[in-house]
Amino acid sequence: MSRIAFGTWQLGGDWGSFDEDAAIAAIHHARELGVNFFDTAQAYGFGKSEAMLGKALREELKRDRDALVIATKGGIKPRSERPRDSRREWLAQGIEDSLRFLDVDHIDLYQIHWPDPDAPGEETAGILQEFVDAGKIRHVGVSNYDAAGLAAFDKARPVETLQPPYHLFRRDIETDPLPYARENDIGVLVYSPLGSGLLTGSFTPETTFEKTDWRSRSSAFTGETFRRNLAVVDRLKEFAAGKGISVSQLAIAWTLAQPGVHVAIVGARKAANIEASLAAADIDLTADDLAEIDRLTTDAVPVSGASPEGVA
């Protein structure tokens, strides 16, 4: 698989308005440049993102299905009475809906989007194994799990992949669960390597977001936290410029340089953003580079993001 995966959270309506034709063009351009791994989810607009991805890739999916790796996620119902729902009925509906929206006969990688505290991990793993046996999904992973959750899941069947949030302002996975993933040979595909835009270098303290953009309700993008982290980004931008790269490329390359990280999921709504992200996978950061990045981010404010329950 390509080390850069094309993420599609931004195509579900949670990031404000966008041009659908431009988004489809971005998917096509990513494919032209060699990206063969695409990640989506049931909760990204409850079918909108999956349908758009399926539409963009339809010709190749029909012609050469195994050339593409399609990953999706299920098991949550944001803004409902039970926002995390890994019960059999909801998982079964989610898988069938995803197959229909994507217009495929199987899903390469199906992931539980968030752990459900009311559904034992071992039981959830067993349910997904039934769909593997039925040929509807090929591989099973989880997202946003800690090591204890991974271990519980592993009791019924191996967790093949883990999808956690990870970037320079959100490094908690370095203590849990990244070590568990390394020790147990779990593929790690991290999301938000650009800090949901914080690490693109395109924001200023005056930047605001549309009401339909989840960042308009996030503490990471307002007030003192936003200002302090943008100051860190300015220092990183200067360091990146000295290496002849952009700060976003530096952030992606840093993520991929971490032991145990295999793939960085990067979203885009315009084709122009794809090439720079892909080039980041070929940037080699030295031990001195990594040490300097740590120094430059010493006073960064740790941030969180969106969850099925809302935005922190």
Catalytic residues: 44
Give the predicted TM-score (pTM) of the model: 0.96
The pLDDT score that the predictor gives to residue 266 is 97
Which tens digit of pLDDT belongs to each residue from 208-264?
A: 999 999 999 999 999 999 999 999 999 999 999 999 999 999 999 999 999 999 999
Query: Where in the chain are the domains?
Result: 4-163
pLDDT of residue 119: 96
Say what the pLDDT of residue 248 is: 97
pLDDT of residue 229: 98
The domain 4-163 is placed in CATH, from the list 3.40.50.300, 3.40.50.720, 3.40.190.80, 3.20.20.100, at: 3.20.20.100
Instruction: For the chain, give the DSSP string.
Output: --SEEEE-GGGTTTB----HHHHHHHHHHHHHTT--EEE--TTTTTTHHHHHHHHHHHHHHHH-GGG-EEEEEESB-TTSSSSB---HHHHHHHHHHHHHHHT-S-EEEEEESS--TTS-HHHHHHHHHHHHHTTSEEEEEEES--HHHHHHHHTTS---EEE-B-BTTB-GGGTTTHHHHHHTT-EEEEE-TTGGGGGGS---TT----TTBGGGG-GGGSHHHHHHHHHHHHHHHHHHHHTTS-HHHHHHHHHHTSTT--EEEEE-SSTHHHHHHHHHTTPPPPHHHHHHHHHHTTTPPP---EETTEE-
Q: What is the pLDDT along the chain (312 residues), one digit of tens a residue?
A: 999 999 999 898 888 888 899 999 999 999 999 999 999 999 999 999 999 999 999 999 999 999 999 999 999 998 899 999 999 999 999 999 999 999 999 999 999 999 999 999 999 999 999 999 999 999 999 999 999 999 999 999 999 999 999 999 999 999 999 999 999 999 999 999 999 999 999 999 999 999 999 999 999 999 999 999 999 999 999 999 999 999 999 999 999 999 999 999 999 888 888 999 999 999 999 999 999 999 999 999 999 999 999 998
Other C-beta atoms closer than 10 Å to the C-beta of 25 total 17
Query: Tokens 């953009």 label which residue?
Result: 213
